[in-house]
A and B are shown apart, each in its own frame.
Chain A
Amino acid sequence: MAEQKKGYFHIIREKYCKGCGICIAFCPKQLLVLKNGKVFPERPEICIGCHMCEYRCPDFAIEVKPIVEETNNSADVEGLDYSLPPEAHHA
Chain B
Amino acid sequence: MPEIVKLMQGNEACTMGALAAGLEFYAGYPITPSTEIAEMCSEELPKVGGRFIQMEDEIGSIAACIGASLTGKKSMTATSGPGFSLMQESIGYASLCEIPVVIINVQRMGPSTGMPTSPAQQDLMQARWGTHGDHAIIALAPGNVKECFELTFKAFLLSEKYRVPVIVLTDEVIGHMREKVVMPDPRTYKIPVRAMPVTPAGYKPYEADPDGGVPLMAPFGKGYRWHCTGLFHDEKGAPSGKASVAEALLHRLERKIEKNKAELVDYFAESLDDCDVAVVSFGSSAMAALSAVRKARAQGLKAGMLRIKTVWPFPDEAVRELTKTAHTIIVPEMNQGQMALEVERVVHGKAKVVKLGKVNGDLFRPEEVFEVLKEAF
A, B assembled together:
yes
Q: Is A6 an interface residue (CB 8 A)?
A: no
Docked CA distance A87–B240 (Å): 8
The binding surface of chain B is classed by DSSP as loop
Residues of chain B lying within 8 A (CB to CB) of residue A1 = none
Within 8 A of A (CB), among B201-231: 231
Docked CA distance A48–B263 (Å): 69
Residues of chain A lying within 8 A (CB to CB) of residue B241 = 88-91
Docked CA distance A91–B232 (Å): 10
Q: Is B237 an interface residue (CB 8 A)?
A: no
Q: Is B239 an interface residue (CB 8 A)?
A: yes
Q: Is B132 an interface residue (CB 8 A)?
A: no
1/0 per residue B164-207: CB within 8 Å of A?
00000000000000000000000000000000000000000000
Q: Is B242 an interface residue (CB 8 A)?
A: yes
1/0 per residue B231-260: CB within 8 Å of A?
100000011111000000000000000000
Which of A87, A89, A90: most chain B CB closer than 10 A?
Answer: A89
Residues of chain A lying within 8 A (CB to CB) of residue B231 = 91
User: B347 → chain A, closest Cβ, in Å?
Assistant: 42
Residue of A nearest to B240 (CB): A89
Residues of chain B lying within 8 A (CB to CB) of residue A87 = 238-239
Residues of chain A lying within 8 A (CB to CB) of residue B240 = 88-89
User: B349 → chain A, closest Cβ, in Å?
Assistant: 44
User: A51 → chain B, closest Cβ, in Å?
Assistant: 27
Residue of B nearest to A90 (CB): B241
Residues of chain B lying within 8 A (CB to CB) of residue A91 = 231, 239, 241
Docked CA distance A90–B241 (Å): 8
Within 8 A of B (CB), among A38-65: none
Within 8 A of B (CB), among A69-88: 87-88
Docked CA distance A84–B240 (Å): 16
Residues of chain A lying within 8 A (CB to CB) of residue B239 = 87, 89, 91
Docked CA distance A88–B241 (Å): 8
Residues of chain A lying within 8 A (CB to CB) of residue B238 = 87
User: A61 → chain B, closest Cβ, in Å?
Assistant: 21
Docked CA distance A87–B238 (Å): 9
User: A87 → chain B, closest Cβ, in Å?
Assistant: 8
Residue of A nearest to B231 (CB): A91
Residues of chain B lying within 8 A (CB to CB) of residue A88 = 240-242
Docked CA distance A10–B8 (Å): 72
Docked CA distance A64–B242 (Å): 37
User: A13 → chain B, closest Cβ, in Å?
Assistant: 20
Residue of A nearest to B238 (CB): A87
User: Given A88-B242, A89-B240, 11 more contacts at CB 8 Å?
Assistant: A87-B238, A87-B239, A88-B240, A88-B241, A89-B239, A89-B241, A89-B242, A90-B241, A91-B231, A91-B239, A91-B241
- Ordered by A's residue number, 13 sampled pairs between the chains whose C-beta atoms are within 8 Å are A87-B238, A87-B239, A88-B240, A88-B241, A88-B242, A89-B239, A89-B240, A89-B241, A89-B242, A90-B241, A91-B231, A91-B239, A91-B241
- Complex A-B, nearest 5 residue pairs according to Cβ-Cβ distance, in ascending order: A89-B241, A91-B231, A91-B241, A89-B240, A91-B239
